């Protein structure tokens, strides 16, 4: 693994960390059962869970959509290059692990701007010998830098899958659509867009309560309708793959979502609600639980 992000002095990364404020990547880490977060992130996750007690299903099914989408792209579409922006903290079954297990020569570039993510990237995002994994310290709002750095690892003459998974709801309309357009314009014909996004179409009361907990902490948090999510595809003349833009758990379900090992009941009883999330089986999902649209499309 190479990349400018990993050449930074660890002390400099540490100076950049503001542990007093929640960060979306670290809040996501809380819901996925990770340990790379701070009390402010845990408080934000706890507030969101209190507002929507089954909200962890949004996070976990969003992650499982990514698994299915990457598997589809590698196995069926022959994609061997991925640009994953807003990847968050490394957890089990990252894009490179899924892709390289199927096609060891796959190349993956991750992009994030959270110094906590960067600090863990070298140790956790290791590539197989035939492929390549890289990490860029950059913000989605700087597509020119992302593309310049990604070109050191990815061949932009060959198709690239751009992954924008659960990140665009943190970007306001006036920025979001042009940013996606600029990124896609740089990718060749045959490239793909993998996208998921929170919405209030499906279960508005639950997700609006969650939205309030985030906006109170200073996050931009935009809930978009199906038509507004589809616009990311249609505005860029992409061909949306079946089954279209649908709730995340309904995008080509394969009944293969990982089931966490269950601890002893006595141990589980001693955990708080946030800690119990990592042990929840997400296969009991219903339509009333999900507030995430997901879709995949090709550049013709």
pLDDT, one tens digit per residue, over 134-180 is 888 899 999 999 999 999 999 999 999 999 999 999 999 999 999 99
Alpha-carbon distances, residue 270 vs 47, 102, 122, 266 (angstroms): 20, 39, 34, 7
Q: Give tens-digit pLDDT for 62-114.
A: 999 999 999 999 999 999 999 999 887 666 688 999 999 999 999 999 998 87
Full-model pTM: 0.89
Alpha-carbon distances, residue 156 vs 58, 82, 177, 270 (angstroms): 33, 11, 21, 51
With bands split at pLDDT 50, 70 and 90, how would you rate the model's confidence at 36?
confident
CA 188 to chain CA mean position, Å:
23
**Scanning the structure block, which residue is given the tokens 């390549």?**
132
Q: How many residues does the chain have?
A: 300
The Cα 67–Cα 202 span in angstroms is 23
CB 59 within 8 A of CB 48: no
Q: Give tens-digit pLDDT for 178-235.
A: 999 999 999 999 999 999 999 999 999 989 998 998 888 888 899 999 999 999 999 9
Alpha-carbon distances, residue 214 vs 26, 47, 50 (angstroms): 13, 9, 12
Q: Which of 252, 232, 143, 133 is nearest to 192 (CA)?
A: 232
Q: Which of 263, 165, 259, 213 is nearest to 49 (CA)?
A: 213
CB 208 within 8 A of CB 168: no
């Amino acid at each position: 693994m190479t990349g400018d992000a990993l050449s930074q002095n660890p002390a400099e990364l540490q100076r950049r960390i503001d542990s007093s404020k929640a960060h979306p990547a670290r809040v996501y880490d809380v819901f996925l059962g990770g340990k790379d977060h701070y009390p402010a992130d845990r408080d934000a996750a706890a507030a969101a869970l209190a507002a929507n007690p089954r909200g962890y299903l949004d996070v976990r099914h969003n992650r499982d959509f990514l698994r299915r989408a990457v598997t589809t792209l590698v196995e069926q579409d022959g994609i061997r290059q991925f640009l994953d922006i807003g990847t968050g903290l490394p957890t089990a079954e990252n894009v490179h692990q899924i892709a390289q297990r199927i096609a060891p020569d796959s190349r993956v570039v991750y992009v994030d701007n959270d110094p906590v993510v960067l600090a863990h990237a070298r140790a956790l995002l290791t590539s197989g010998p035939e492929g390549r994994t890289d990490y860029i310290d950059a913000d989605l709002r700087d597509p020119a830098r992302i593309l310049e750095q990604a070109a050191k690892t990815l061949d932009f003459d060959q198709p690239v899958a751009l992954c924008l998974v659960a990140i665009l709801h943190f970007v306001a309309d006036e920025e979001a659509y042009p940013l996606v357009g600029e990124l896609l314009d740089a990718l060749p014909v045959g490239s793909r867009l993998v996208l998921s996004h929170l919405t209030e179409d499906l279960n508005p009361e639950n997700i609006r309560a969650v939205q309030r907990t985030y906006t109170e902490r200073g996050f931009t948090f935009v809930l978009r309708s199906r038509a507004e999510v589809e616009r990311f595809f249609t505005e860029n003349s992409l061909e949306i793959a079946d089954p279209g833009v649908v709730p995340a758990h309904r995008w080509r379900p394969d009944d293969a979502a990982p089931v966490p090992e269950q601890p002893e009941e006595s141990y589980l009883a001693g955990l708080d609600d946030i800690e119990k999330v990592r042990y929840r089986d997400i296969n009991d999902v219903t339509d009333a639980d999900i507030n995430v649209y997901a879709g995949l499309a090709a550049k013709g």
